[in-house]
A = this chain, B = another copy of it.
């Protein structure tokens, strides 16, 4: 066991501040990672502030982790000291249920262990996330980071990346298909990059006319301003896939009207009670509304390899650990292009 520095909070009302946490001594299959970069995900804020209830304190957020392997257990086969690796939203699962056996650890039927604010079966505490100097993780939940990618930009791939890659891969964004990405934030900007790289015609759908040029720079073939009724009319019934990254409840029917026959709208952002939609909006056209949540470990590695091949990372703003509270406020205002990543040396060196 070791005591390491971290940033966290003891209360939903309080700012994050420096504290210490325990990390377990490595077990035979464990990898110890010196964390170099940690992305800020909106879920971090929801958990720190107990928006979803169920937070147990102290909360140390962070599930977009990149670092360097500094120690490996005796039975570790996939990693060696010095490797650049990633850790995402999951750090453990039962490895033996129907979901785990299908490489869908995120839906482990016995309850996956999330990277923070999950019961830690080893220490008996809560798990503590990536806003810390190191983390110790079973190698099954550690990812190889392609050498050619900027590691700071890789950090958000571990949550925002896989959250958008997984549904686009599962429901087959590909040449000949038209994909709409709704909302241009941390998730949306990755959705555009992936859909474009997968070869689909990619349309950014946003309420903000100002986001059009940014979206095109990210790879969008076109932009649909959802308040422009004529433009919306022209796109009605044409989308095969809508990747809906809006983080809050919103009217569903106008988006469902954009779907082609057999089209699908995938919800990845709004984890709250949604607004009602009309049965006719899906019955007339055999349309589908689906949910998707991160991805399994195998698929997350595929995503990172895909990023290596296509030279994809997240667009980020690098900050110091001590700036995290201001960064949270800016995330809430949508004032970041498109993801904050913390340079973890700023914690280590204080």
Contact = CB atoms under 8 A, between A and B. Distances in A.
Interface stretch (A25-33, A186-194, A274-282): A274-282
A263 to B, nearest CB: 11
A292 interface: yes
A286 B279 contact: no
Nearest to A98: B261
A287 B290 contact: yes
A273 interface: yes
B274 A279 contact: yes
Interface residues of A, number: 37
A293 B276 CA distance: 20
A281 B277 CA distance: 15
A283 B274 contact: no
A284 interface: yes
A291 B267 contact: no
Contacts of A277: 273-274
Contacts of A271: 278-280, 283
A-B complex: 4 closest residue pairs judged by Cβ atoms? A282-B291, A283-B291, A288-B290, A270-B279
Given A270-B279, A276-B276, 16 more contacts: A107-B284, A107-B286, A267-B282, A267-B283, A269-B279, A273-B277, A273-B279, A275-B276, A279-B291, A281-B291, A283-B292, A283-B293, A287-B290, A288-B289, A288-B290, A289-B289
Interface of A: 98-99, 104, 107, 109, 170, 237, 249, 261, 264, 267-293
